[in-house]
Amino acid sequence: MTLVHAGVVPTRRAMIYGVLGIAVTVALCLGTIAAFGMNRVFTGLLAGAIAGVAVLVALFTRDAVVLTEGAIYRRTPWAETSIDWDRVVAGRFTLDERARWSLALDLVGGDEEHGELVLLSIPPVSGPVSSAYDMRKREQVDQIRNMLRRKKVPVMVLPEIAGALHEHWNIAPPTH
């Protein structure tokens, strides 16, 4: 069974995760200082920072959209919902309101905002893969594209996006 991980964490939820990470850091630091005295400030900060980062990693890892052969799963740390492939009308790779490239699925029915599910939001590609981030995003675009092709979902790609993906990342434009 093929799994493709995607998803964009909304800014508001990312801020909540950040506040939770900071709160864990501060709470553990203060708890260590209260239990062992002021001589353990550095130990408290270190333990708090490790726990805070662990909380952030757990929250951001769990928050994702997972595409499988059977369905699409939208996960948050608190819940998981599934979307049948029958609800997917089309996919589109366009510019979003922040001038980033957004790969989204258009859905019929359901309670998704604007009837869409954003799978990926990346800065415009202006050169070949030059970092681990670029490589991961290229792999995600390719995996999502292959999954949508297998599911026979039509994908609309703006010409400038298709050209840049083909030129810089060697990803061929959709054939349908």
149 and 103 share one domain: yes
Q: Is residue 54 located within the same domain as residue 97?
A: no
Q: How many CB atoms lie within 10 A of CB 12?
A: 8
Does 176 reside within a domain?
A: no
Residue type, 87: R
Instruction: Judge whether residue 175 has pLDDT over 70.
Output: no
Of the residues 62, 82, 104, the one at which a domain ends:
62
Domain that holds residue 135: 70-169
Q: What is the pLDDT of residue 112?
A: 73
Q: Over 80: is that where the pLDDT of 6 sits? A: yes
Number of domains the chain contains: 2
Judgement on whether residues 53 and 137 belong to the same structural domain of the protein: no
Considering 13-22, 69-78, 113-122, 146-155, the range whose residues carry the highest mean pLDDT is 13-22
Residue 163 CB contacts under 8 Å (≥ 6 apart), including other chains: 173
pTM for the model stands at 0.79
Token output for 45: 């900060």
- What does the pLDDT look like over 22-34, one tens digit per residue? 999 999 999 999 9
Say if residue 58 is in the same domain as residue 135: no
Q: Would you say residue 176 has pLDDT above 60?
A: no
Which tens digit of pLDDT belongs to each residue from 120-165? 999 998 888 889 999 999 999 999 999 999 999 999 998 899 898 8
Q: Decide if 4 is inside a domain.
A: no
In this predicted structure, the answer to whether residue 17 has a pLDDT above a threshold of 90 is yes
* For residues 103-120, average pLDDT: 85
What's the rounded mean pLDDT across residues 52-79?
94
Task: Compute how many other C-beta atoms are within 10 angstroms of the C-beta atom of residue 123.
Answer: 12
Q: Which residues contact 127 (CB under 8 A, 6 or more apart)?
A: 168
Averaged pLDDT score across all residues of the chain: 90
Residues 48-62 pLDDT 10s: 999 999 999 999 999
